[in-house]
Structure formats: structure tokens, C-alpha cells
Chains A and B, each alone.
Chain A
Amino acid sequence: MQDEKAFIAQLLNPETQNEAFRKLLQLYQKPLYNHIRNMVLNHDDTDDVLQNTFLKTYSNLGNFKGESKLYSWMYRIATNEAISFMQQRARKQGISNEEVQQKAINKLESDVYFDGNEIQLKLQKAIAVLPEKQQLVFKMKYFEELKYEEISDALGTSVGALKASYFHAVKKIQDFLHTD
């Protein structure tokens, strides 16, 4: 964005905030939706998390220090919101986070908003058996095509550790796809 500081000022000003917030939605709702959907898999859940992400962004704009880009900050909020959403669901159902992922994967085949072919479904199943962090790194690198530096900024993990995670994830997924 050309002048992010000025845009944030518009978001904080009661006179201009409505118009600025609409612009914020138009700019970032699609990439954030895709990121959240990759994590929680189901459309309705993604919708809930996306709403929380925008509301949290707005209510915390006054605390935004501008040390990173606005989108990077929102991306971190979206990631945290999606993780908390899955943790809450696991707690409510008395199961582990991995089991929540497995249940979501099992529902994919009958999901009207999933039109993946056999390979795509197999890939989703292969990802779901990875440890949580590897899942996240793989999805951000492979589906969203983020740079390691961007993933590092979002997850607070070193680039070296991310490269190792991605390498292990790819190896396990390929093994899964070959054997399954």
C-alpha cells in the first residue's frame, strides 16, 4: 500500500473509518480467507474465523506499532485466530487437535464446497497426519507460496527451522502418496 500510515489514520478517524474499513476488507479478505480455509478446511468455520480476524484487527488498530506491514500483522492475527478456533473445538469435544483435523478431513468428501479430485483429497489426507507445525509450514509454503522470511515473520520461527520443517513435511507427504 502506498501510504500505510495515512491509511491506518483513516481507519482510526471516526469520520473516515467506514470507508477505510471497506477498503481493508476489499484488499485482504480473499488472501486471508484462503489462509484460514487451508488451516480449518471447512467454509463455515473459515467464515467465523475471518470475521473474528477483521474485528480483532479493527479493535487493536490503536495498538498497531507499524513495525511490520499491516497485512503481515493481520496475517498473524488470522493464524492465531484459526489455531485458537481449532484448540477450542478440541477442548469442547474432549479430543486432541490432531483428531479435530482428522474429523475435518473425513468430512471433506461430502463437503459441497470441496471439489477436489482424488489426488487433491489424498494430499489433504497426507497433510492431516503431519505434526501441527509441519502442516502449517507446508500449507503456507506450498499452497500460499510464501517466502520463508514471510512465514518466519508470521510464526516467529527461524528460517532454518522452517526449511527443516518443510523438508520433513514434503518427504512424509510424498511417502504417504506413494504408499496409500
Chain B
Amino acid sequence: MKQFDLDNDPKITPGFKVPEHYFEQFEDKMMAQLPQRMKVIPLWQRRPAWIASAAAIFIIAIGTWAYFAQDTAENVVADQEYLAYESDVTTEDIALLLSDEDISAVENSLNLYHTESEAYINEYLN
């Protein structure tokens, strides 16, 4: 059996063939692809990375703000509904937590002692 000595024997080539005129055709094929690939982008169409980044940050900021704003409004309504319908907390319990000034403010805003209403009640009773 023949003993191989790759480093000293005559070189064994890989044995590959290339189709005839392949390289000329390859050159033309690549050149034909260039106009689309190498098209110069006008300056006004170029969007640098920082513009895209700034736009993304702006959208995220607006979205976050809108989400929390909506969430806060929904929470207030939910708390009010809970206190009104679902809890065992009485009006007296709430009043205990409020100062005199707070109670006066609530009374004024609700117009509980409206003079016209008082006059009407008195008239009706008499």
C-alpha cells in the first residue's frame, strides 16, 4: 500500500471544476444587482438613528402618561363606588376622619342648607 506524506509528496489538488465562463457571468450578474443595492438615498429621506430614538421615547412617554392618567381617574371612581355601595363604612366613620373645616366645605359644596329649600319645607309644614 502506498504511504502518503502530504507535506513532501506532490500536491493533491481538490479536484473541483468551474463551469465555463462562470467568472465573466458572475461579474455581470453582480454588476446587474448593483443599481438597486447601491441606490443613493436622498438626504431628506435619510433617517438617522437619533431621530428614530427620539420619536420612540416621545411615543413611550405619551403612552405612559395617558395610561397613568386614565388609571388615576378610574381609581377615583372605583373608590367612590366602593365606599358608596360595597363597604361597611358609615357616614359617621368618614366624618370622624374629617376636620370641622372639611365637613363645612363638604356641606357648602352639597348646598345642604340651601335657604330656598328651607323656605319651601317651612311653607309645606305650615
Contact = CB atoms under 8 A, between A and B. Distances in A.
B27 A29 contact: yes
A178 B12 contact: no
Interface of B: 1, 3-7, 11-19, 22-23, 26-27, 29-31, 33-34, 37-38, 40
Contacts, number: 87
A51 B1 contact: no
A55 interface: yes
A33 B38 contact: no
B contact face: mostly helix, strand, loop, or mixed: loop
Interface residues of A, number: 39
A123 B11 CA distance: 11
B18 A113 contact: yes
A38 B15 CA distance: 10
Interface string A160-180: 000000000010011001100
B34 A114 contact: no
A92 interface: no
A85 interface: no
Interface string A80-122: 0000000000000000000000000000000011111101110
Contacts of B7: 170
B38 A58 contact: yes
Interface in A40-59: 41, 43, 47, 50-51, 54-55, 58-59
B37 A59 contact: yes
A65 interface: no
Contacts of A120: 12-15
A59 B30 CA distance: 13
A114 B16 contact: yes
A93 B92 CA distance: 76
A142 interface: yes
Given A26-B27, A119-B12, A173-B6, A33 B18 contact: yes
Given A58-B38, A114-B16, A120-B13, A22 B31 contact: yes
Contacts of B29: 51
A21 interface: yes
A173 B22 CA distance: 32
Nearest to B16: A37
